[in-house]
Amino acid sequence: GVVAASAGNHAQGVALAGAPDCLAPATPGVNWSYCHMEGARMARAQLGGANLSNASLVGADLQGAHLATSDLSYANLGAVNLHAADLRATNLKGAVLHKADLSGSDLSDADLSYANLTGANVTDAILKDADFSKATWIDGRLCAAASLGACQ
């Protein structure tokens, strides 16, 4: 019985340590993985290094938000306002950015491989060294592998 209890406690501890807290306030490093935050109002939020992987933020307002080095992989960011957001070195692999407003945002060194950018607004966005490998570009075409800084 002791071994089983010990193993159970260990597994529980691991789950608690890495568990997302969908009610946690917007803070750097917050874990909102898999959270449903459609339409959330988080303009200028400080979310550097946050885990938003697989989260749904459809229609959310993240204008001017600081999301540098955050994990937004496979997140649904459809129609999200990311105007002037800091997305430097952000993981957006496989993210849905359909009709998202990325105008004036900084996507330097961001990973947008396999992301869907159909209908997104990238006017005046900084795309320096952003990885668009196998991404679906704003006009619906598939970017080539090793597309850095632009869809090739």
Give mean pLDDT, residues 103-118. 98
Of the candidate ranges 8-22, 27-41, 61-75, 83-97, the one whose mean pLDDT is the lowest: 8-22
- Percentage of the chain lying above the pLDDT 70 cut: 89
7: pLDDT strictly greater than 90: no
Q: Give the whole-angstrom CA distance, residue 55 versus residue 52.
A: 5
* Token pair belonging to 142: 């598939």
DSSP 140: S
What b/e readout covers 36-57, taking b as 16+ CB neighbours within 10 angstroms? ebeebebeebbbbbbbbbbbbb
Q: Can you read off the two tokens belonging to residue 120? A: 């997104």
The position carrying tokens 């619906």 is: 140
pTM above 0.75, yes or no: yes
pLDDT of residue 18: 74
Specify the amino acid at residue 54: N
